[in-house]
Amino acid sequence: MSVRGKDRQIDNIEFNVSDIARSKAFYGEVFGWSFVDYGPNYTEFSDGRLTGGFTTGEPVRPGGPLVILYGQDLEAIQRKLEAAGATISRARFSFPGGSRFHFIDPDGYELAVWSDQQP
Instruction: Give the pLDDT band (50/70/90) at residue 3.
Output: very low
Q: In what order do the strands lie in the sheet with 51-55?
A: 12-16, 51-55, 42-46, 34-37
pTM of the model: 0.77
Model pLDDT for residues 100-114, shown as the tens digit of each residue:
999 999 999 999 999
Model pLDDT for residues 55-98, shown as the tens digit of each residue:
998 888 877 778 989 998 999 999 999 999 999 999 999 988 89
Backbone angles phi, psi at 66, to 5 degrees: -85, 120
Among candidates 46, 117, 30, which has minimal Cα distance to 78?
30
Task: Determine the pLDDT at residue 63.
Answer: 78
Task: Determine the pLDDT at residue 2.
Answer: 42
Q: Is 51 exposed, middle or buried (0-12, 13-18, 19+ CB in 10 A)?
A: buried
Task: Determine the pLDDT at residue 105.
Answer: 94
Paired strand residues for 36 = 44
Give, in degrees to the nearest 5, the angle at Cα 46 between 94 and 24. 90
User: 66-97: buried (b, 16+ CB within 10 Å) or exposed (e) per residue?
Assistant: ebebebeebeebbeebeebebeeeeebeeeee
Model pLDDT for residues 4-57, shown as the tens digit of each residue:
456 667 677 889 999 999 999 999 999 999 999 999 999 999 999 888 999 998
